[in-house]
């Protein structure tokens, strides 16, 4: 993979048939969080990549940047972080 390119995820349950998320992946995430995150990052492919990278970090032990009184899945935590502006992305123009 070349530096600076954001490629869509394939395999491992990711496809773009339903607004960027498979039905199984969408069921694991709260719809309200997903809709709000799509307002911040409207490109479904980019949103998937940002959320996927952050979920991997959370599962490897990174601390959540948002607090919640309820138990949230790593996917929901990542979506909330995007919604609240705690994480962002940068597109590198060097191909």
Cα(88)–Cα(40) distance, rounded to whole angstroms?
10
Cα(29)–Cα(40) distance, rounded to whole angstroms?
16
Residue 2: pLDDT over 80 = no
Give the orientation angle of helix 44-59 with respect to helix 74-83, to 10 degrees: 120
Planar angle of CA 54, 66, 19, nearest 5 degrees: 50
Q: What is the pLDDT, as a whole number, of residue 31?
A: 85
Please tell me which residue, 5 or 55, carries the higher pLDDT value.
55
Q: What is the pLDDT, as a whole number, of residue 28?
A: 57
> Residue 16 — pLDDT band, cuts 50, 70, 90?
very low
What ranges do the domains of the chain cover? 23-83
- Mean residue pLDDT across the chain: 77
State the burial class of residue 23 (Cβ atoms within 10 Å of its Cβ: 0-12, 13-18, 19+).
Answer: exposed
13 CA to centre of own chain: 14
| pLDDT per position as a tens digit, 20-66 | 555 445 445 688 999 999 999 999 999 999 999 999 999 999 999 99
């Amino acid at each position: 993979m070349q530096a600076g390119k954001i490629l869509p995820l394939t395999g491992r349950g990711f496809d773009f048939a339903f607004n960027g998320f498979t039905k199984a992946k969408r069921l694991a995430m709260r719809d309200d969080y997903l809709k709000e995150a799509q307002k911040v990052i409207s490109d479904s492919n980019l949103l998937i990549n940002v959320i996927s990278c952050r979920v991997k970090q959370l599962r490897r032990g990174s601390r959540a940047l948002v607090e919640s009184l309820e138990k949230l899945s790593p996917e929901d935590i990542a979506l909330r972080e995007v919604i609240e502006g705690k994480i962002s992305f940068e597109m590198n123009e060097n191909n």
